[in-house]
Structure 1
Amino acid sequence: MQTEIHSVYERQADAPYDTLESLGGGSSGIVDRVKLRGSNEYYARKSIRIPPAGRTQRDQRITKIKEEARIIRRLRNNPHIVEVVSTYETRAGFNPTFCILLLPIADCDLGSMLEHVDQMVEGEEKRSVIRTMKHWAACLARATDYMHYNCVKHKDIKPSNILVRGDEIYITDFGIAKDFLPDTDSASTAWQAEGTRRYCPPEVLNQGRRGRASDVYSLGCCFLELATVTITCGKLALLKQVVGQTYAESEQRVLRWIYFLFSELAFRSFRRHTTSNNPDDDVVLQHAVLLPALAFTMMDSTASKRITARQLVTLISVWDKELYCNSCRVGAPGEDPTLGLHSKFKSRKDLDYPQNPMDALKPDFSPLPESWEDAKMKWLKDHMWWH
């Protein structure tokens, strides 16, 4: 493997990589699968063209791209964050290109995976996929905590920026990620809503201060979609229709959807205990039962009361350390008895759910929490902000 971290070539053809296939792309660049000539080494290459501009603007653009590579490299010790192998740039012509070589080469992104799983009917194939995804939420929480511990805000967590390879998952695309100084609240003023609006938290849409809590909110949206395709069949499009353009501007509808997922879990639990064994219920209740609750703690509309990534990791560890993969399980923090847990949920037996879970989505259905604070009073038995 190459040891040189950055190289400069006159033309793309001079770089020692053969392009094999396109892996996709977007506004931040295109991604190809490439092979290092004379070796069996394959990489994902993100290529960003530098648009025609004055020298100062071009240098600023290149500096920004190098910053993305630097940040990813600094996070290389986490198994669920993509790895930068090396970078290079080409300088010929009016449109020079900056390239970042990354590992692993993904099978797809989480957004595509969720859409695929959403279309599956219940059966062994879907049960197998749910087992494959069983560690993803906990490992993403651990990766986010690792980022924040190392003073990095991602600022654009969304399903398409999370890669899937086999049964592993990776956070990628740090194009607008930012360092922040240790021993600060990490917040900065967001005069424009950077990142994808659908997954932006309320404070960003309202041009407020953006800190680590913003990443947690965006990841919570991903957890809500993961919970939806795991617990239900064919409901992902309905979730997006119910929520509309942004999660942050649809607090009541998000609460309704979380309650719907709670109702689905309650229905599956009741069915498992009153009828013949249903393997689909068993798998969902074993591997997905915590997802809606995690999303609820992460999507609090008040940033200062939102669970932190470290509190989230602790909460998962206390609930079930087996939710982590083997790598993430090592060193996962337990509960600090002096601080307690961020949230403790009531038992499903202590809550009322409709016999038909779909009734929870009807506009006239009650009792539905009127606000996030009201939902806490109804669904939690203890909360750190109550002390």
Structure 2
Amino acid sequence: MYTVVHRWLTLVLLVVIDFIALFIAPLVIVLIWLVIAFIAGLQALTKAYNGRPGLNTPGNAPKYDPTPTRRTPNPFPGFSPLVSPVLVTQIEETQNVQEVSDESRQLHIRLHSIADLVAKSSQAAHEHTTPQPFHRSRYDDAYETDQLLLPVRNDWSGRGSHVTFTHEETVPLEKGRTLGHGMNGEVVEATCMGIKLALKKIYHRYWIQNSQMKEIDILKNMKHHHIVRLVGTFTQKPYLSLLIWPVARCDLSVVLEALDVRRLYNLDFAQDHKFSNKLADHHLNMNELQDIVGQKEERMWSIFGCLTAAMVYLHQNNIRHKDIKPSNILLSQDGLWLTDFGAAKDFTSDLTSTSETRERGTLRYCAPEVSNYEQSGRSADIFSLGCVFLETVVVLTHTHTLAELAELRPSKNKSYEANLDRMDQWLALAESLEAKTQHLLYEIKQMLNGDRTGRPTAKALALRISSIDQYNSSQLPKRLHGSCCDLWFERELNVNKEQIEKLEREKQEYQRPKSCLCKLQR
């Protein structure tokens, strides 16, 4: 019995040994060979990499050309349109690292490529392009703003987007200088999580008024690169406070007067003590204003298209601003924003876009139907925008001043709607031989139509502005919209041959003898 078992065990052992020899051993040998080959290859790559210049060497990063579509060179060599301060910091930190991971190395290469692209764009812009207005880049859009505001917009206080603080509690904000004053409160600069915001304080004695809640509800849903953003709100009796981005340096009314004063008196702002006092009221110093205005008044021409794009966005989202005026248009070197939606109306739930409300904006810029407490709609915004356009073009054409324009509005506190019979005289103040200015004056005349049904819609106005830019493409210093809105104008508007021909016919009308205009100016 023992012998039989021994033989069977021996036989099984031999079968197992044969199986290992035939199948397992070759597999193990192959695996060992692969491991040796991998180690040898890795050593070779490491040796080759160590032979290259280190990451600290300038220009070491490969040149990456993503061949972007429809990118415009940066108009201001001093600005970096595609690289934020955070990215620049990452570049500098990466350059100081001797040993980096593959992930870090790829990030370094990517950032260097972007920096090289920015440098080339800036150099090209300095050589043969004209300044564009206020904006770092067309890519500084709503998406990038969302990313910037993400840390504070989700939960700026640690307790939600709206918080009620008691008198004893400290609001987690670092308050700075005063930005302005209003009837119901003040606006101060505040810093939250490293982001500068405008803190708008609205006085309320017992309860929050409907108009105050209306501004909050409207701003919460706004997402456009030319409209301010609401980051958060809080109450701490007796104030309701709104946290708004961005903190702009001044508004359009200050800039227009600055350009007007400089042209009228041919002197620096600091020499005009009356204007200096006005700047003090706006908590703005001379250096800040000089930075905004600078020597590039042609940047101001893009205001027309940028404001129109913002107006199209509002009206497409069933919002009427109802108080368009220069002081509600914020400006800085980096952008232009429409603000103050306290009088705005959301007519989404209305059967019609017209309203019989007795609320009015600023009387000087309001439409005739608003002044007369009649039904008004989106066309009332177009009228107010036309008033802003008129003041801007009068200043930019350098032939007359805002004071002369005011003299031609003698009735009803110098409001535009009460003096529409002087419109031809207003337009004569901005008389110009340039076709682009003539076309723009024609649009302003349509916007100031006393009959609200005769005014263009915001979308139609944007199409006309785009047509004017294409028809007068040789006049680059006076583009009527900034690079920030290039993609929007290309995507939303389609300028056809018929519209260009219409501009040609209008140009022929402009070139008729201007004796009638001369008579109006006497």
Give the TM-score taking structure 2 as reference length.
Answer: 0.57
**Pair 1:66-2:213 in alignment:** yes
Pairing partner for 1:308 from 457, 464, 472? 457
Secondary structure of the 1:210 match is: coil
Count of paired positions = 325
Q: CA deviation at 1:225?
A: 0.4
Q: CA deviation at 1:217?
A: 0.4
How many Å separate the matches in 2 of 1:196 and 1:209?
17
How many Å separate the matches in 2 of 1:65 and 1:339?
46
How has the CA–CA distance of structure 1 residues 339 and 358 changed in structure 2, closer, same or farther, with 3 Å as cutoff? Answer: closer
Secondary structure of the 2:176 match is: strand
Q: Relative to total residues, which structure has the larger helix share, 1 or 2?
A: 2
How many Å separate the matches in 1 of 2:170 and 2:387?
43
Q: CA deviation at 1:131?
A: 2.1
The answer as to whether partners of 2:198 and 2:243 remain within 8 angstroms in 1 is yes
User: Partner of 2:170 in structure 1?
Assistant: 14
**Pair 1:197-2:363 in alignment:** yes
Q: CA deviation at 1:359?
A: 5.5
Pairing partner for 2:251 from 88, 93, 109? 109
Q: CA deviation at 1:7?
A: 1.4
Q: CA deviation at 1:259?
A: 2.7
How has the CA–CA distance of structure 1 residues 10 and 204 changed in structure 2, closer, same or farther, with 3 Å as cutoff? Answer: same
Pairing partner for 2:418 from 249, 260, 270? 249
Aligned partner letter, 1:347? Q
Alignment of 1:104-143 (within 5 A): 104-121=246-263, 128-143=295-310
User: Partner of 1:277 in structure 2?
Assistant: none
CA distances 1:286-331 after superposition (whole Å, capped 9, x unpaired): 7x55442332121111001111101000111112165322232213
The answer as to whether partners of 1:86 and 1:101 remain within 8 angstroms in 2 is yes
How has the CA–CA distance of structure 1 residues 120 and 292 changed in structure 2, closer, same or farther, with 3 Å as cutoff? Answer: farther
Pairing partner for 2:202 from 17, 37, 48? 48
How many Å separate the matches in 2 of 1:46 and 1:214?
26
CA distances 1:201-246 after superposition (whole Å, capped 9, x unpaired): 0111121111000001001000000011101256111111211321
How many Å separate the matches in 2 of 1:49 and 1:260?
42
Aligned partner letter, 1:65? Q
How many Å separate the matches in 1 of 2:391 and 2:334?
18
Aligned partner letter, 1:334? L
The answer as to whether partners of 1:118 and 1:233 remain within 8 angstroms in 2 is no
Pairing partner for 1:334 from 475, 485, 493? 493
- Larger Rg over CA atoms: 2
Alignment of 1:270-289 (within 5 A): none
Query: Structure 1 unaligned runs (5+)?
Result: 270-284, 363-387
Alignment of 1:1-387 (within 5 A): 1-2=151-152, 3-4=154-155, 5-11=161-167, 14-36=170-192, 39-51=193-205, 53=206, 58-59=207-208, 61=209, 63-76=210-223, 78-91=224-237, 96-121=238-263, 128-166=295-333, 168-181=335-348, 184-190=351-357, 192=358, 194-232=360-398, 235-244=401-410, 245-262=414-431, 265-266=432-433, 290-320=439-469, 322-332=479-489, 333-335=492-494, 344=503, 345-347=506-508, 350-354=511-515, 360-362=520-522
Q: CA deviation at 1:130?
A: 1.7
The answer as to whether partners of 1:224 and 1:291 remain within 8 angstroms in 2 is no
CA distances 1:114-147 after superposition (whole Å, capped 9, x unpaired): 1001112379x98833222121111000100100
How many Å separate the matches in 2 of 1:289 and 1:43?
40
Q: CA deviation at 1:50?
A: 0.3
Aligned partner letter, 2:196? Y
How has the CA–CA distance of structure 1 residues 197 and 354 changed in structure 2, closer, same or farther, with 3 Å as cutoff? Answer: same
Q: CA deviation at 1:166?
A: 1.2
The answer as to whether partners of 1:19 and 1:32 remain within 8 angstroms in 2 is yes
How many Å separate the matches in 2 of 1:25 and 1:334?
39
Q: CA deviation at 1:12?
A: 8.2
User: Partner of 2:147 in structure 1?
Assistant: none
How has the CA–CA distance of structure 1 residues 86 and 129 changed in structure 2, closer, same or farther, with 3 Å as cutoff? Answer: same
Aligned partner letter, 1:232? H
Secondary structure of the 1:237 match is: helix
CA distances 1:169-217 after superposition (whole Å, capped 9, x unpaired): 1100000101012795410014x35111000101111211110000010
How many Å separate the matches in 1 of 2:315 and 2:375?
16
How has the CA–CA distance of structure 1 residues 157 and 349 changed in structure 2, closer, same or farther, with 3 Å as cutoff? Answer: closer
How many Å separate the matches in 1 of 2:305 and 2:184?
28
Give the TM-score taking structure 1 as reference length.
Answer: 0.76
Q: Relative to total residues, which structure has the larger strand share, 1 or 2?
A: 1
How has the CA–CA distance of structure 1 residues 216 and 30 changed in structure 2, closer, same or farther, with 3 Å as cutoff? Answer: same
How has the CA–CA distance of structure 1 residues 132 and 11 changed in structure 2, closer, same or farther, with 3 Å as cutoff? Answer: farther
How many Å separate the matches in 2 of 1:44 and 1:316?
32
